[in-house]
Amino acid sequence: MTDREFEVTPYLNGNAGLVGRLGYNDDLPEPEDFGADSGGLVGFAFLKAAVRRSAAFCCVMAVAGFLIGGILYLARPAPYQADATIVVTDGPYEDGNGSAADDQAFAQSPVVANMAMQRLGLHESVSAFTKDYLVSVDSQRVLVVTFTAPAAEAAVSGANAVAVELLRFRVGLLVEQQNQVFAALNQQIAQAKLKIGSIHARISQRSAQPPSPAQQSQLHSLREQLSSANNALASLQQALLQDQATVQPATTAAINGSKVIAATYTLPRSHLRTILVYSLAGLIAGLAVAIAIVLIKAIVSDKLRRRDDVANALGAPVRLSTGSLQRDRRLSPSSLRRRHDAARAADIARIAGHLGRTMRETERGLGNLVVVAVDDPGPAALALASLATSCARQGKSVVVADLAGGAPAARLLGSGSPGVSSVDTQHARPLIVAVPAGDDVAPVGPLGHAHAFDQHSAFSQEVAAVCASADVLLTLVTLDPSVGGEHLPTWGADAAVIVTAGRSTWTKINAVAEMVRLSGAHLVSAVLVGADRSDESLGTIPARPVISDAEVMGMNADMVRKNLDAISEGSEVIGKAVQSDPH
């Protein structure tokens, strides 16, 4: 269905004329100023509506994340793993309880990792290298080094290097422990020999002295010390010999008994489960990023969507709200497209019916209405074209003045070229379409006194000529603050504003409303297109207290009285000052 193919439920009465003539409400609240605070609350419903509006974007991001996750898994090379088994024999100073855990810690220490890197000729960081292998305790005497690398040869070489360097490090520890024990015993033996030599020297000195009871007592004590020192030296020498006979063979046996079984590698395999894990992780990440973007944009956005917010910005009630009028071309099933087109046509008919009920007649019986598009003129053009077509079907002579950029309403009716042209609607009376030239940004209409001062405008004269015999004048305009809206009353006394939800800020909507009021036109209603289904606001404006003419006159009288009293007091003060000082 094209944009020109729409049906409107008849809202015109052939006997009584425009329903709007009879049903117009003269008690509409007058415009008043409202604060720039929209007053909308950011709650769960608000966020849920934002996500629902961007459901397509979220789905696209989720699918993109799913695909990226799978591609990343397939793009990265499947790693090879090689296992090197180490059989460890405990040394003479190891009891076997914690030796395996100690060797595991040694294998993953920076010292062993650095030694393995030197063997492999690598120059990467130690921390990065240690992430490529894992050492596990298989039993009390067995360690397994698992090395991961992109190639099988690299995995085998890495596992073997770590295992060999671990054994080298362990050999150094065993030899160092043995040497420390031997060095300690030899040091004790050397100290014992020095002590024995010192005692011998003292005995020789006492023996050279003249015999006396004191001298004999000292010699006896020194000989006892010498005997004790000799016994200690013998014990140390015996311990050294015993350690050399037991520790050294045990250390050698531990070194020779620890060995590496050749590393073997396993072929990489692409598991469906792993691919799904990567893809699902990408899907969740993409969906989370999309939702975060949508929520942040919704929270920081200053575009109005709620009926109350739009009404407050306009200073006029939102009397009608509909769904989006944009054609959704993403719907592939024909049933969904038909359902969407039917709902769209119904919304267009509702807006057109509302505009028809809003129209009033001039003194000479010309029904007229100015439709102001705040942002997107497309919905307003659809509704206005639908209203004009319905009026023509009722036998009315209709003039459509499309003053919006691009003339969207005129194009829908089949005549988008500048000037005044007649459109054949296959009805009793033709439909007249008026489109100004591009340089005529604010043409004057056929109504009001301003038309008398614009006799040089050919477009205005042509419109005035066709409106002289017309029954309905419908005008579509878009307002620009740089141009103003002073020409609006010449096209119609009443104006209805059409706002698209989420397209305009409070400032823009309020500026359009103020331009309408400054022009002298009466802003009677507003229509919100694309309203959220979760919006529960009414779209009304706060009622202001009504002040009667008598109250206004009373306030004016009080103000005049106060001003006269002030002038009188001032005159008395000046007179006294002059009398006191005549100069």
Q: Is residue 565 part of a domain?
A: no
Task: Judge whether residue 563 has pLDDT over 50.
Answer: yes
Give me the pLDDT at residue 116, please: 92
Tell me the per-residue pLDDT of 488-535, one tens digit each, with 9 for 90 and over: 999 988 999 999 988 888 999 999 999 999 998 999 989 999 888 777
Q: Give the integer Cα–Cα distance in Å for 264 and 397.
A: 94
Tally of structural domains, the chain:
3
Q: Which of 284-304 are b and which e, b meaning 16 or more Cβ less than 10 Å from the residue's Cβ? A: ebbbeebbeebbeebeeeebb
On whether both 423 and 499 belong to a single domain, the answer is yes
* Domain finish residue from 488, 513, 529: 529
We report the CATH number of the domain holding residue 220 as: 3.30.1890
Q: Is residue 292 part of a domain?
A: yes
* Domain finish residue from 250, 266, 282: 266
Task: Judge whether residue 20 has pLDDT over 50.
Answer: no
pLDDT category of residue 299 using cuts at 50, 70 and 90: confident
On whether both 453 and 507 belong to a single domain, the answer is yes
188, burial (CB in 10 Å: exposed 0-12, middle 13-18, buried 19+): middle
pLDDT category of residue 4 using cuts at 50, 70 and 90: very low
Q: Is residue 161 part of a domain?
A: yes
* Mean pLDDT score of the chain: 79
What percent of the chain is modeled with pLDDT above 90?
Answer: 16
On whether both 333 and 217 belong to a single domain, the answer is no
We report the CATH number of the domain holding residue 412 as: 3.40.50.300
On whether both 383 and 523 belong to a single domain, the answer is yes
On whether both 160 and 251 belong to a single domain, the answer is yes
Q: Which residue has the higher pLDDT, 45 or 185?
A: 185
Q: Which residue range forms the structural domain that includes residue 105? A: 80-266
On whether both 216 and 259 belong to a single domain, the answer is yes
DSSP 303: B
Give me the pLDDT at residue 257, please: 81
Give me the pLDDT at residue 545, please: 52
Q: Is residue 16 part of a domain?
A: no
On whether both 204 and 291 belong to a single domain, the answer is no
pLDDT category of residue 406 using cuts at 50, 70 and 90: confident
Q: Is residue 1 part of a domain?
A: no
Task: Judge whether residue 7 has pLDDT over 50.
Answer: no
Give me the pLDDT at residue 8, please: 40
pLDDT category of residue 351 using cuts at 50, 70 and 90: very high
What percent of the chain is modeled with pLDDT above 70?
Answer: 78
Give me the pLDDT at residue 184, please: 83
Give me the pLDDT at residue 576, please: 61
On whether both 421 and 447 belong to a single domain, the answer is yes
User: Minimum mean pLDDT among 112-126, 396-410, 412-426, 448-462: which range?
Assistant: 448-462
Which of 314, 251, 282 is closest to 515 using CA atoms? 314
On whether both 360 and 504 belong to a single domain, the answer is yes
Give me the pLDDT at residue 363, please: 73
pLDDT category of residue 383 using cuts at 50, 70 and 90: very high
Which of 356, 390, 363, 144 is closest to 266 using CA atoms? 144
Q: Which of 382-418 are b and which e, b meaning 16 or more Cβ less than 10 Å from the residue's Cβ? A: bbbbbbbbbbbbbebbbbbbbbbeebbbbbbbebbee
DSSP string, 44-104: HHHHHHHHHHTHHHHHHHHHHHHHHHHHHHHHSPPPEEEEEEEE----TT--SSSHHHHHH
pLDDT category of residue 36 using cuts at 50, 70 and 90: very low
User: Minimum mean pLDDT among 177-186, 228-237, 419-428: which range?
Assistant: 419-428
Task: Judge whether residue 84 has pLDDT over 60.
Answer: yes
On whether both 189 and 243 belong to a single domain, the answer is yes
Residue 382 · residue 3 · CB < 8 Å = yes
Q: Is residue 27 part of a domain?
A: no
Q: Is residue 191 part of a domain?
A: yes
On whether both 295 and 363 belong to a single domain, the answer is no
On whether both 279 and 230 belong to a single domain, the answer is no
pLDDT category of residue 96 using cuts at 50, 70 and 90: low
Q: Is residue 553 part of a domain?
A: no
